[in-house]
Amino acid sequence: MAYRSFRDNRRPVARAVGLGAVVISVLVLAACDRGAFEAAAWQDAVLSTRDRARMAPDLIASGRLDGLDRAGVIQLLGEPTATDKFAGSDMIYVLGPERGLLAIDHQWLLIELDRNGRVAAYRVVED
């Protein structure tokens, strides 16, 4: 029986560790991929919904939706997404597949209006 030393096993272990580091780096970069909100880009018909998902955190952090009326929201974001999901929500925009390796669900921007027709609350949810 041949004797194998620990040194013989270093190369496969190093490859596995290196590959794992690359995979983790790609996943972290994908999760942190954020873009500045641009109204024209958001409303672009050719725009990928993933681009909306990247802009959504900036839109929310900026507070640009605060106090807008329905017409102001439509001017900023375009017409809401036609959907029967989230009954009771006033305005709904699809953001696209959730982030991550196994994107099964979709993300949505839900906007609630108060009794005066102004934005009272908004949040990103997954279905």
- Look at residue 111 in the predicted model and tell me its pLDDT: 96
**Reported confidence tier of residue 122, pLDDT bands at 50, 70, 90:** very high
CATH number of 34-126: 3.30.1450
SS3 content of the chain, % helix, strand, coil (to 5): 40, 20, 40
Task: Map out the domains of the chain as residue ranges.
Answer: 34-126
DSSP codes joined into one string, 75-110: HHH-SPPP-S-STT-SEEEEEEEPSSSS--SEEEEE
Distance between CA atoms of 36 and 70, rounded to whole angstroms?
23
For the stretch 9-60, pLDDT in tens is: 556 655 655 555 554 544 444 444 558 999 988 888 666 667 888 899 999 9
How close are the terminal C-alpha atoms of the chain, in Å? Answer: 58
